[in-house]
Amino acid sequence: MINQPTSSTPIVSALVFLAVAIGISVPASAQQRGTQAREDGEIETVIVTASRRPDSAAALPTAWSTVDQSALQRIAPQHSNQVFNRVAGSWVSRGNGQESLISLRSPVLTGAGSCGAFMTAQDGISLRSPGFCNVNQLFDANLLQAGKVEVLKGPATVVFGSNALHGIINVLTPTVAQTRNQVRIEAGSRDYYRLSASGSFDSIALSAQTARYGGYQDESGYKQQKATLRLDHEWQSWRVAGALEGSNLDQETAGYIRGFESYQDDDAREENPNPEAYRDAWSARGHLNFSRDWRGTGEISLKPYWRSNSMTFLQHYLPWKATETNQHRSIGLQAMINGRSDRLGWRAGMDVDHTEGSLLETQAEFFSPNQPDGVHYDYEVDADSLAAFTHVDWSITERWQFDVGIRIEETRYDYQNRTEDGPACAPSASACRFYRPASQKDSFNDWTGNLALSHHTANRTVFAKAARGFRAPQTTELYRLQSGQTIADIDSETVDSLELGIRGVAGGLTYDVAAYWMAKEDVIFQDRDRYNVSGAETEHRGLELSLGWIINDVWSLKGNGSYARHRYDSDIELLGSRGTIEGNDIDTSPRHFGSIQLRADFASRGQPLSAELEWLWVAKYWLDPNNQHEYAGHELLNLRAAWDLSPSLTLTLVATNLLDEGYAERADFGFGSYRYFVGEPRSAVLGLTLAL
């Protein structure tokens, strides 16, 4: 447990941490080996997410992780959680099919607007409009064929505003030069098949995939298609980089199974209590980034973009099983200019986004007077956001650097109710679940900022950072009101963060350690019966560790782990609680989790074989804010291997859950019972990759 700091403790701790870390010496031989490690790609990494332009990742005064293209090819992810279990402090909880919930320096957050705590982006542009997020939006990204995935943790940078609260996940499309000319065929357990291909010509590259899965529960499975078109071109004095990406998902969804530890029952694991459940989703995005040099040391960039999303699904997790259709379309522009003069670097920019969205929720069958059939909600929202930001970095000396930045953002919603105002129930209803507010306009003005002090040597970076982040309320929180609500009296969530970190190289070892403390205000969360509770406060404290060890020319080891406490900090009493929830752990927040990968690559010894054994764990966690029900946690073993049959043909194996562990990908307690999204039994996928 990390003790809560007093008002002066964070500053004192930062100074002590810097003093101690800077005093660490590295022998000359270790420095030489560290340089070699950078040459091998272990730490010499470039990140674009932090500033929208390439930065040396090793020197950034913020916590980050990356999963590069070669690792993505090796993982061959069928689901996003297979990628993010390699990121310290990140856990993507898998639902059924392609569904997911994100944890990034946070609990797994649920509820209509909880997805607003995370920025998920493609090439720096949010996958969905900030006021219209969806908890499952990671399934829109083409992770299998990405060039790289970058993760910034906490409220990390002023180039992002609303939704960059707990962190940023940025999926980078591969450049034309990065795109591999290849065809890949995969087949595996329970009727899993995937065909993917990619190639480039001149200044254009195309990557595409199609997959289908029969599912491991009755009447479940999905069909999914994704494609990415990339452009890299020079036009007069401008560099033009653009991407067009689309995805389509046709999913037959399996619902929770119920009953305490029912996931350990082999028969129950195959049951689907909601064979009628489904999710159909479609998305498309496009952007063009025009950049050119400015005054020798600077750059100007203009990035217009558009996005379009639509989704229809059955709310199988609610007893009355309503159907929701939501969609939105956006256009926007990101503009930035940066420069450097002697020891001073700066950047300034402006972001504009206009979105037109709608939501329709209906119920086919009568459930009760408080959850009637018919239309629950039917509305449209026009949303506009305008933001300006600036950031300055000052090299005080050759080793010391000071960074400071601020962003001001305004969000406006113009809401139009397309059905009757007021409750969706008959006057005789005792506590109608659904309330439709009258048409209205709302606006939110917020700011985010950060300042950091860092010290750099050839093999080590130490930093201390203070930052503030926010998220404006999502449209579903404002206009899809619940029992007892006639107006959404909520404000933007804010978080204040303090962070200390050190990363570097020592011999064949790379390390990255970060400790953080965050306090959130105006938090919106859901109780065990999925009622919204607003105006809460929470506290988040943790320690993250990432290690990489090159043992010899064959063997290497990588691992990450996180220990954290996420707790309610409000004197709130919920129905069924034994008193206030203040001090309780937030539900679905394991105190520790992580993964370790042991890799063997025999190429240096003339053998065309490589393999990776992966161990991952998730500790026990509470299932409700009252801390009355618990999930025991789990551990899994996975294996990946590749064999080069010829210079152009490779055979791959991905085997998951080798010990056939009965476990829950996600657990909760709701409406009076334990509920589990069961984990997939042992499975194997064979693939053939033909390089063209």
**Average pLDDT score over residue span 507-520:** 96
Q: What's the one-letter identity of residue 508?
A: G
Tokens of 634: 């789990």
DSSP state at residue 473 = P
CA angle 62, 68, 70 (to 5 degrees): 160
pLDDT bin (cut points 50, 70, 90) of residue 535 is confident
pLDDT bin (cut points 50, 70, 90) of residue 577 is low
Highest-scoring range by mean pLDDT, 4-8, 266-270, 286-290, 483-487: 286-290
Q: What is the pLDDT of residue 297?
A: 87
Inside any domain, residue 621: yes
DSSP letter for each residue of 44-88: --EE-TTTSS-EEGGG-SS-EEEEEHHHHHHH--SSTHHHHTTST
Q: What is the pLDDT of residue 37?
A: 38
Inside any domain, residue 2: no
Tokens of 274: 């909601």
Q: What is the pLDDT of residue 34?
A: 35
Distance CA 50, CA 45 (A): 13
Asked whether the whole model's pTM tops 0.85, one would answer yes
Q: Which of 475, 246, 444 is nearest to 358 (CA)?
A: 475
Q: Is the pLDDT of residue 7 over 50?
A: no
Q: Is the pLDDT of residue 563 over 50?
A: yes
Which pLDDT tens digit goes with each residue over 196-208? 999 999 999 999 9
Q: What is the pLDDT of residue 576?
A: 60
pLDDT bin (cut points 50, 70, 90) of residue 530 is low
Distance CA 273, CA 218 (A): 9
Burial class of residue 29 (count of CB atoms within 10 Å of its CB; 0-12, 13-18, 19+): exposed
Q: Which domain holds residue 532?
A: 9-445+456-691
Which pLDDT tens digit goes with each residue over 274-287? 999 999 999 999 99
Q: Sign of dihedral through CA atoms 429, 431, 433, 437?
A: positive
Distance CA 356, CA 229 (A): 25
User: Are the beta carbons of 68 and 83 closer than 8 angstroms?
Assistant: no
DSSP state at residue 5 = P
Q: What is the pLDDT of residue 182?
A: 97
Backbone φ and ψ of 398, nearest 5°: -65, -25
Q: Sign of dihedral through CA atoms 395, 47, 66, 157?
A: positive
Distance CA 434, CA 480 (A): 7
Tokens of 132: 């219209």
Beta bridge partners of 449: 406, 468
Q: Return the H-helix or E-strand segment holding 341.
A: strand 323-341
pLDDT bin (cut points 50, 70, 90) of residue 635 is very high
**Average pLDDT score over residue span 49-61:** 92
End-to-end CA distance of the chain: 53
Distance CA 547, CA 65 (A): 11
Q: What is the pLDDT of residue 625?
A: 87
Q: Return the H-helix or E-strand segment holding 385.
A: strand 374-395
Q: Is the pLDDT of residue 210 over 80?
A: yes
Q: Is the pLDDT of residue 15 over 60?
A: no
Dihedral angle at the C-alpha atoms of 211, 217, 219, 220, nearest 10 degrees?
Answer: -30
Highest-scoring range by mean pLDDT, 255-269, 323-337, 663-677: 323-337
Q: Is the pLDDT of residue 481 over 50?
A: yes
Inside any domain, residue 414: yes
**Average pLDDT score over residue span 362-369:** 95
Instruction: Provide the 3-class DSSP secondary structure of residue 181.
Output: coil
Backbone φ and ψ of 268, nearest 5°: -65, -30
**Average pLDDT score over residue span 585-595:** 95
Query: How are the residues of the chain apportioned to helix, strand and coil, as percentages rounded to the nearest 5?
Result: 10, 55, 35
Q: Which of 498, 499, 401, 406 is nearest to 453 (CA)?
A: 401
Q: What is the pLDDT of residue 27?
A: 33
Inside any domain, residue 4: no
Q: What is the pLDDT of residue 226?
A: 98
Q: Number of structural domains, the chain?
A: 1
Distance CA 660, CA 656 (A): 8
Tokens of 61: 């005064």
Q: Is the pLDDT of residue 532 over 70?
A: no
Q: Is the pLDDT of residue 99 over 90?
A: yes
Which pLDDT tens digit goes with each residue over 401-453? 999 999 999 999 999 999 999 999 999 898 899 999 999 999 999 999 999 99
Using CA atoms, how far residue 51 sits from 129, 301, 410, 462, 541, in Å, is 20, 12, 21, 19, 26
Distance CA 80, CA 68 (A): 14
Which pLDDT tens digit goes with each residue over 223-233? 999 999 999 99
Query: What percent of the chain has a predicted confidence (pLDDT) above 90?
Result: 80
Q: What is the pLDDT of residue 588?
A: 93
Q: In CATH, what number is assigned to the domain containing residue 395?
A: 2.40.170.20
pLDDT bin (cut points 50, 70, 90) of residue 356 is very high
Work out whether strand 344-363 and strand 323-341 pair parallel, antiparallel, or are unpaired: antiparallel
The three state secondary structure string of 292-320 is EEECCCEEEEEEEEEEEEEEEEECCCCCC
Q: Sign of dihedral through CA atoms 255, 261, 262, 267?
A: positive
Inside any domain, residue 84: yes
Q: What is the pLDDT of residue 538?
A: 93
Inside any domain, residue 348: yes
Query: What percent of the chain has a predicted confidence (pLDDT) above 70?
Result: 91
247 or 528: whose pLDDT is higher? 247
Q: What is the pLDDT of residue 580?
A: 86
670 or 127: whose pLDDT is higher? 127
**Average pLDDT score over residue span 69-73:** 95
Distance CA 143, CA 491 (A): 34
Q: Is the pLDDT of residue 6 over 70?
A: no
Beta bridge partners of 379: 359, 417
Which pLDDT tens digit goes with each residue over 141-181? 999 999 999 999 999 799 999 999 999 999 999 999 999 99
Burial class of residue 8 (count of CB atoms within 10 Å of its CB; 0-12, 13-18, 19+): exposed
N residues, the chain:
692
Q: Is the pLDDT of residue 36 over 60?
A: no
Q: What's the one-letter identity of residue 78?
A: Q
Inside any domain, residue 179: yes
User: Are the beta carbons of 434 and 377 closer than 8 angstroms?
Assistant: yes
Distance CA 59, CA 491 (A): 36
User: Are the beta carbons of 499 and 526 closer than 8 angstroms?
Assistant: no
Half-sphere exposure (CA, 13 Å, Cβ side) for 322?
A: 18
Distance CA 642, CA 73 (A): 11
Inside any domain, residue 361: yes
DSSP state at residue 585 = B
Q: Is the pLDDT of residue 572 over 50?
A: yes
Q: Return the H-helix or E-strand segment holding 28.
A: helix 28-39
Mean per-residue pLDDT over the chain, rounded: 90
Cβ–Cβ contacts within 10 Å for residue 6, how many?
8
